[in-house]
């Protein structure tokens, strides 16, 4: 469940990128009290929305039965970026620390 797509696909990977991927899975689970998807595979019914560049469908699913604004726009942007199928499109640690979701008084 915490494995990045490149590990599931038995490809070369960056330790930092896969560790950050797993950390954001934990972050999402803490906020939502559920996991974002079963596994980071294009056959997973929820992850395919991220991999297929349809994060709106992913977030609409997770927003059901929650108050409007439960997930802030900055949080959604942060997670969507970190869940990207292509590791080169994910943030590195410096970018994570500079992301608007992390820059506020407290992260939402």
Within 10 angstroms of residue 59's Cβ, the number of other Cβ atoms is 17
Q: How many residues are recorded in the chain?
A: 108
**pLDDT digit string, tens, across residues 28-37:** 999 999 999 9
Mean pLDDT in the chain? 94
Domains delineated in the chain: 5-103 (1.10.510.10)
The 8-class DSSP code of residue 40 comes to S
**pLDDT digit string, tens, across residues 2-50:** 999 999 999 999 999 999 999 999 999 999 999 999 999 999 999 999 9
């Amino acid at each position: 469940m915490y494995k990045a797509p490149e590990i599931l696909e038995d490809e070369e990977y960056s330790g930092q990128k896969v560790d950050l991927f797993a950390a954001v899975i934990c972050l999402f689970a803490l906020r939502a009290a559920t996991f974002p998807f079963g596994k980071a595979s294009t056959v997973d019914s929820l992850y395919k929305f991220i991999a297929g560049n349809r994060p709106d469908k992913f977030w609409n699913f997770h927003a059901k039965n929650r108050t409007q604004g439960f997930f802030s726009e900055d949080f959604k942007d942060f997670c969507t970026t970190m869940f990207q199928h292509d590791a080169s499109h994910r943030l590195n640690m410096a970018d994570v620390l500079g992301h608007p979701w992390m820059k506020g008084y407290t992260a939402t």
